[in-house]
Amino acid sequence: MIDLALKMLLDEKARFAATVLGVGFAAALVLVQVGIFAGLLQNASITIERLDADLWVASRNAPNIDFGNPFPERYVDRVRSIPGVERADNLIVWYAFVALPTGAKESVEFYGLEDFPAWHFPWDVVSGEPADLRRGRFALLDASAERRFGAFQPGDFREFNGRQLKIIGRTRGALSFTTSPIAFVDYRIAQSLAPADLDGRTTFLLIRLAPGADHETVRAEVRKRLPYNDVYTQDEWAARSRAYWIESTGLGLTLALTVGLGALVGVVIVGQTLYASTTEHLADFGTVKALGGGNRTVFGIIAEQATFAAALGFGLALALTFTLAPLLERLDLKMIVSPMLIALVYAGTQALCLAAASMSFRKVATTDPAIVFRG
């Protein structure tokens, strides 16, 4: 079979290249934007997902993990005695200012736990031992802090809210949505960094269930014993933290606009070029009809051109996106392009290109095959 659609498309290389570039950049825009958005959202909940806790207790109406309100730390005792609870500990998530060697100050978000290894946290330790944090005024600092704090080495000292802590190692991938670097310190050290707010107080309770324990039964008991707190499963708490940033920052709307604009640009480019090409080839389509082809045949030609341009454009978009990924990583901007996102954007690209092609369908549907007899 002669593939007329493809041969017509490739016969006009400049127009075809413009179409593929247009689709490619539009699809790349969507992939990169959604990928960065997914990366930012992952930052918003990555510590929740990496902490090995089944239930989280937070102050009433705490919007996310970054903005917890302190409550009495002794509440943990009420939880530890609940049947089905294997382990329960206090977790402090709070902010401090770090004095830099330059004299400037930067904020840091610190996580305070009594026993980090018990919660398999932090999860990617480049150097140092989390178990050593409880041995003194020590901190583990995430490598991403170098962008804000400048270079640091294990053994360096930094002032956190005016108190000197020794950096004993570095972690990787611990980022927050707020872009403040994350530090890990012992629970008591954490309290000492902000005594006015945290003395005798914590911001979260972590609960790990015993094997076979029922989430809902334990949660109901926790709620009964801590009636002025909220209790979430790990997934609920992660979703709540992400939703806060999506809604409060307008990020969701911005993303929807970007995706919409990307899609619109793609549709306009493909639609315009296909329509122009169709108009120029009306005599060809008339000939196809005169030779016995029907509207379905000519629709098929245009649709095949659209899907081919979409496939090549999407390939270009993927190449652009994955070329950009390491550059973004150097800026500590995480981009998550999952197989699901790739599949969705590919399907969307195909659908939109076909929709754009449909603008030309009407033109050829009304083409009189007798056009071939006109000079």
CB 224, CB 78: distance < 8 Å: no
Q: Does 287 bind other proteins (CB under 8 A)?
A: yes
CB 55, CB 222: distance < 8 Å: yes
Q: How far apart are the first and last CA of the chain?
A: 30
> Minimal distance in Å, beta carbon 304 to other proteins?
13
> Minimal distance in Å, beta carbon 2 to other proteins?
4
Which residues in the 296-335 window bind other proteins by CB under 8 A? 297
Q: How many CA atoms lie within 13 Å of 203's alpha carbon, on the beta-carbon side? A: 24
Q: Does 251 bind other proteins (CB under 8 A)?
A: no
> Minimal distance in Å, beta carbon 8 to other proteins?
5
Q: Does 21 bind other proteins (CB under 8 A)?
A: no
Residue 334: φ, ψ to 5°: -85, 135
Q: Does 4 bind other proteins (CB under 8 A)?
A: yes
Q: Does 372 bind other proteins (CB under 8 A)?
A: yes
| Residues 192, 194, 200: CA angle, nearest 5 degrees | 65
Query: Of 133, 288, 306, 312, which one interacts with other proteins (CB under 8 A)?
Result: 288
CA pair distance 108, 183, nearest whole angstrom: 7
Cα 192 → chain centroid: 34
Which one of 43-51, 281-289, 312-320, 351-359 is the stretch in contact with other proteins (CB under 8 A)?
A: 281-289
Q: Does 370 bind other proteins (CB under 8 A)?
A: yes
Q: Does 66 bind other proteins (CB under 8 A)?
A: no
Closer Cβ to other proteins, 16 or 56, answer by number: 16
CA pair distance 258, 299, nearest whole angstrom: 31
CA pair distance 346, 340, nearest whole angstrom: 10
Q: Does 13 bind other proteins (CB under 8 A)?
A: no
Q: Does 366 bind other proteins (CB under 8 A)?
A: no
> Minimal distance in Å, beta carbon 17 to other proteins?
16
> Minimal distance in Å, beta carbon 310 to other proteins?
20
Q: Does 374 bind other proteins (CB under 8 A)?
A: yes
String marking each residue 180-199 x if it binds other proteins according to CB under 8 A: --------------------
Q: Does 104 bind other proteins (CB under 8 A)?
A: no
**How are beta strands 138-142 and 204-209 bridged, if at all?**
unpaired
| Sheet strands (E) in the chain | 55-59, 71-72, 85-99, 105-113, 125-127, 138-142, 157-160, 163-171, 182-186, 201-202, 204-209, 229-233
H/E stretch holding 254 reads helix 251-280
Q: Does 216 bind other proteins (CB under 8 A)?
A: no
Residues facing residue 167 across a β-bridge: 139
Q: Does 73 bind other proteins (CB under 8 A)?
A: no
Which one of 23-31, 242-250, 312-320, 364-372 is the stretch in contact with other proteins (CB under 8 A)?
A: 364-372
| Contact set with other proteins (CB under 8 A) | 1-2, 4, 7-8, 10-11, 283-284, 286-294, 297, 368-370, 372-375
